[in-house]
Structure 1
């Protein structure tokens, strides 16, 4: 497995973006922003991470991250987050934020295990008004609210 910056056509990554976000409207709004790093197994792209500026030079956002279903559980997500942290630190970043659904138990566990701390909750972030179908469930929990996590990158 190899992680590298991706400069290709981002439409080729749409299946990965769709794994990370259930709203095509939302994906379309940010897919061309920031920098993308990918995880490759040979010539095949098996994961991605999208890193965007927040307007605060010290804070970056991990806007999208996904691993193909066949390769989940192999540590590729951790490797992509590590590459994202390196990218942010090299650019003077002191904080990395990421958000996910409060209903997504797996993501909540993943980010906390990596040292992210809950920073805020955005109520009713997911619904028809923001491009998400009504009635979506994750792990049997209604998709409604969003949690924002923050990781203090410190200074190396």
Structure 2
């Protein structure tokens, strides 16, 4: 029987082998680079979504002051509400921690992500021109060409204001 909606729980040590495998297959490793900072995603807090009793996605984040960066978001079940459920969980954790802004970086080639994030309510607030060249110095596995044959060059920053309660 298929679950109608994903369930979400905190990321635990039992998930790390799965996360390492997923991120290595999809992103060339567990390091994620944004705005010139390399993050070891296996050390960050996060959430795991489950559908039909199986892991269906993961999100990691970091809170600094009154801001929360969504460092990674990955769904292995597209169109099933996994990404939305994971962002909902990160946004709630950020609000509870006192953050007023949830932000993320994606690359200029990632049109599916841009569509998803904007539909969720994120707003494009900055284009960091040629930032990926600097990111490759920290993570050489970043490919030169991305989705649909688009050269990966720029970091796009999106944000979601978090209402205080």
Same-fold status (TM-score > 0.5): yes
1:62 aligns with 2:70: yes
Q: TM-score, structure 2 length as denominator?
A: 0.81
What's the secondary structure of 2:98's corresponding residue?
coil
8 Å Cα contact 1:4/1:37 also seen in 2: yes
Report if aligned partners of 2:19, 2:42 keep a CA contact under 8 Å in 1.
no
| Corresponding position of 2:3 | none
Partners of 1:133 and 1:35 lie apart in 2 by 23
CA shift for structure 1 position 119: 1.8
Structure 2 unaligned blocks of 5 or more? 1-5, 33-37
Change (3 A) 1:136 1:35: same
The correspondence of residues 1-156 of structure 1 with structure 2, limited to 5 A, is 1-9=6-14, 10-18=16-24, 22-24=27-29, 26-27=31-32, 29-53=39-63, 55=64, 57-68=65-76, 71-127=77-133, 128-130=136-138, 131-156=140-165
Asked if the contact 1:117–1:150 (Cα under 8 Å) also holds between the matched residues in 2, the reply is: yes
Question: Quick check: 80-89 or 133-142, which moved more?
Answer: 133-142
- Once residues 82 and 44 of structure 2 are traced to their aligned partners in structure 1, the CA distance between those partners, rounded to angstroms, is 21
**Cα distance change of structure 1 residues 52 and 133 upon mapping to structure 2, 3 Å threshold:** closer
Give distance in 1, aligned partners of 2:53 and 2:75.
Answer: 15
Tell me, yes or no, if the aligned pair for 1:17 and 1:65 is still in contact at 8 Å.
Answer: no
After superposition, the C-alpha distances for 1:65-95 in whole angstroms (9 at most, x for unaligned) are 1011xx1111111111111111111111110
Preserved contact between residue 98 and residue 149 of structure 1 (Cα < 8 Å): yes
CA distance in 1, matches of 2:94, 2:113: 21
In structure 2, how many angstroms separate the alpha carbons of the residues matched to 1:3 and 1:133? 29
What TM-score does the superposition give when structure 1 sets the normalisation length? 0.85
Q: Retained in 2: the 8 A contact 1:33–1:52?
A: no
Q: What CA distance in whole angstroms lies between the structure 1 residues aligned with 2:121 and 2:130?
A: 26
